[in-house]
Amino acid sequence: MYKIGVCLTFLFSTHFTAANENNGMAACLSLYQIAASAIDYKAKGKSKQEMLAPLPDKQKIENDDQTVPSAIIALNMYDIIDEIYDYDTLPIAVYAPYASEKCLRRVDGKPIKPYRKAHPQLQQCAKLTHSKAMLECAFAVVNQV
């Protein structure tokens, strides 16, 4: 569990530093790698509780300024962990672009389709054979509201 905490803390601080230099867009784009890492951790048998443990309190984050990159990243990390652990895991080529684009929609104040509705569509994206087609499909799903 210590290794997970160190890795998530490193990922969080690394992505926060990069995002802090830019804006919400940079924070959202950093989620691609975070989502990929979370999928990898799940595949290696790490529990949802182990993944959530190093994150700041969710209620506090929700009360923070949602234009601050650290809050954007942390809140979306909660979503990512919930979606990866509560549903059948999607390939990185489908889920990671979905998570990044969903974050951008949130930052822009656009509506977001509930994941329970998006997941079956994303599963169809996962059946495509080319990664570019998977990516485009994931973007289309997240942008259909």
Which three-class secondary structure string do you get for 59-84? HHHHHCCCCCHHHHHHHHHHHHHHHH
pLDDT at 141 (0 to 100): 97
Q: What is the pLDDT of residues 12-26, one digit of tens each?
A: 444 444 444 457 888
Longest dimension (CA), the chain: 41
Q: What is the pLDDT of residues 92-134, one digit of tens each?
A: 999 999 999 999 999 899 999 999 999 999 999 999 999 999 9
pLDDT at 34 (0 to 100): 93
The model carries a pTM of 0.80
Q: Distance (Å, rounded) from C-alpha 125 to C-alpha 17? A: 32
Residue 1 has pLDDT above 70, yes or no: no
